[in-house]
Amino acid sequence: MPVVAPEYHQAFLGKDARFDGRFVVGVNTTSIYCKPSCSAKKPAAENVVFFDTPAEAESAGFRPCRKCRPDAMPGTPAWNGTSATVSRALRLIEDGVLDRSSIDALCERLGIGARQLRRLFRKHLGTSPIQVARMRRADFARRLIETTRLSMTHIAEAAGFGSIRRFNAVMNEVYGCPPTALRKGSVHGAVGLELEIPVRRPFAWDALLVSLEATATPGIEKVADGRYHRTARFKQAVGEVSASFDEDDSALRVRVSHSLNSYLLDVVSGVRRLFDVEADVAVIREHLAGDPLLDTCLQTTPGLRVLGAFDHFETAVMTLLGQHVGDEELAELARRINEKYGKPINASLDGLTHVFPTPYALSTAHLEAVGVPKRRSKSIQGLAKAVHEGELRLDGSPSLDEALRGLRAVPGLGTTTADYIAMRVYREPDAFPANDRRLRTVASSNGGSLAAHELEALAERWRPWRAYAAMCLWERARCNGTESPTYFQGNRDTITPEAPEQVA
């Protein structure tokens, strides 16, 4: 049976990819059904019908859209679309295919044309295959310069440059100095390959950066000179990522160290999640505008997004660790945990020292030894063990209800903290921590504080984007000068304890 959910139509109009897999949309005039995020022109409201699953749509006589492939299961190459091709191309480039052969040889391996491959790289990464290969050569050449006494001519040949002239030009462009200066050790390391991620206007970069700076994980994240910097790990590869916002081009400029070249798609996905690039802020604003509680923020801070998570596990742990402790204590505990259980890294920026511990490392860690309260230590161990053993997935594949059930099964992780994690880690646009003290206070019309169930009832009108309404309310409190720059504050008294075991 078709589902009746007014908020589904709002999500469909917003082409919100986060609703993919939750429902499909049948178009009566074409007998085609699509994913919510389909880029095709949207039909009139009276011509669409919603189904919970593709099977239900096909039983009703609809056939799948060839453009968005709603019949593919999540996680398959068809569901991921062309990103699977780009991911394979990155692995081949890292294996040196373009060092030995031409772009045509790479395309032959992939089974697509050169123009199509360039278009896919521009779409998914904001760069070209040649740029990725060039950065790989430059990084390899630099390591040879710094660790051997080979001549520049031999290094240029070993790194795959066609001539010494080309070698000098590329090294100058990438590192801002001639190759001989690198041998002298006078140039500090740099994150070189730059990717471009287009962002819909407006985009509240400054507001997001303020919050990221206030909540940065010591040794892992840092905000400096208008850029967000962090360390990253993908399987055995570790490196650096940084991002800034180009107002003129309305794009995020993302710099990635060569060590992560095989994982550029993962890097881009993490940045897109963190800065909520997928959000259609115009549609969301139209839905929320006019509400007296939200309208001021929508006007003064246009383009406000819901901060996400570059690293799912890291954000979940930091949220859990921050329950009922102050910012300074949270930063100190995080620093100790990273130093003892994280992996050291030689970063180009002072202050970046480690990559965050793995789920396995924290599942067996004795966190009380670094000052984490006993009950909080058990909660983090429980979370890490569930993630490591696959009992809890943090990648957004479960439904909101499944995700919340899994989180609440972790000892000491209560309802409100689960809602915070759903907002950031699972990127749930409709997650809403109704028990948050600040939300209940700022939503009150008499200066007091609403009960959680009263705020829940009030928030019904904000579906399916209650998370954005929460961001507006937090921003309103911050702009009033009564709160700190952080939006997610499980780290003070903003979460009312729901059970004795949640308080350390």
**Residues 401 and 381 placed together within one structural domain of the fold:** yes
Strands 221-224 and 193-198: unpaired
- Tell me which range, 19-23, 94-98, 147-151, 195-199, is most confidently predicted by mean pLDDT: 195-199
- On whether residue 162 sits in a domain, the answer given is yes
Other residues' Cβ atoms within 10 Å of the Cβ of residue 131: 15
Q: What is the pLDDT of residue 17?
A: 77
pLDDT (tens digit, 9 = 90+) per residue, 147-185? 788 889 988 888 888 789 989 988 888 788 888 888 876
Query: Which tops the pLDDT comparison, 191 or 53?
Result: 53
Query: Which tops the pLDDT comparison, 57 or 502?
Result: 57
Q: What is the pLDDT of residue 13?
A: 78
Domain count, the chain: 4
SS3 annotation, 258-301: HHHHHHHHHHHHHHHHHCCCCCCHHHHHHHHCCCCCCHHHHHHC
CATH number, domain at 378?
1.10.340.30
- On whether residue 145 sits in a domain, the answer given is yes
pLDDT confidence bin for 305, thresholds 50/70/90 = very high
- On whether residue 347 sits in a domain, the answer given is no
Q: Over 60: is that where the pLDDT of 490 sits?
A: no
Q: What is the pLDDT of residue 397?
A: 65
Catalytic residue among 34, 65, 107, 472: 34
pLDDT (average), residues 443-450:
85
Q: Over 80: is that where the pLDDT of 78 sits?
A: no
Residue 34 is a catalytic residue = yes
Q: What is the distance between the alpha carbons of residues 262 and 235, in angstroms, rounded to a whole number? A: 11
Mean pLDDT of the chain: 85
**Residues 390 and 437 placed together within one structural domain of the fold:** yes
- On whether residue 231 sits in a domain, the answer given is no
**Residues 455 and 420 placed together within one structural domain of the fold:** yes
Residue 104 is a catalytic residue = no
Q: Over 80: is that where the pLDDT of 468 sits?
A: yes
**Residues 163 and 45 placed together within one structural domain of the fold:** no
**Residues 46 and 103 placed together within one structural domain of the fold:** no
pLDDT (average), residues 440-445:
89
Query: Which tops the pLDDT comparison, 361 or 39?
Result: 361
- On whether residue 222 sits in a domain, the answer given is no
Query: Which tops the pLDDT comparison, 337 or 188?
Result: 337
pLDDT (average), residues 96-115:
85
Q: What is the pLDDT of residue 348?
A: 86
Q: What is the distance between the alpha carbons of residues 169 and 190, in angstroms, rounded to a whole number? A: 17
Both tokens assigned to 340: 């003892």
Q: What is the distance between the alpha carbons of residues 474 and 327, in angstroms, rounded to a whole number? A: 17
User: Measured on CA atoms in the order 208, 269, 421, 347, is the torsion positive or negative?
Assistant: negative
b (16+ CB within 10 A) / e for 405-415:
ebbeebebbbb
**Residues 140 and 122 placed together within one structural domain of the fold:** no
- On whether residue 322 sits in a domain, the answer given is yes
Q: What is the pLDDT of residue 339?
A: 95
Residue 492 structural domain: 312-334+360-502
pLDDT (average), residues 366-379:
93
Q: What is the pLDDT of residue 500?
A: 36
Q: Under DSSP, is residue 78 helix (H, G, I), strand (E, B) or coil?
A: helix
- On whether residue 179 sits in a domain, the answer given is yes
pLDDT (tens digit, 9 = 90+) per residue, 196-232? 999 999 999 999 999 899 889 999 999 999 999 999 9
CATH number, domain at 18?
3.40.10.10
- On whether residue 328 sits in a domain, the answer given is yes
Query: What is the percentage of the chain residues whose pLDDT exceeds 90?
Result: 39
Q: What is the distance between the alpha carbons of residues 401 and 363, in angstroms, rounded to a whole number? A: 25
pLDDT (average), residues 72-88:
64
Half-sphere exposure of 304 (CA within 13 A, CB side): 26
**Residues 366 and 454 placed together within one structural domain of the fold:** yes
CATH number, domain at 147?
1.10.10.60
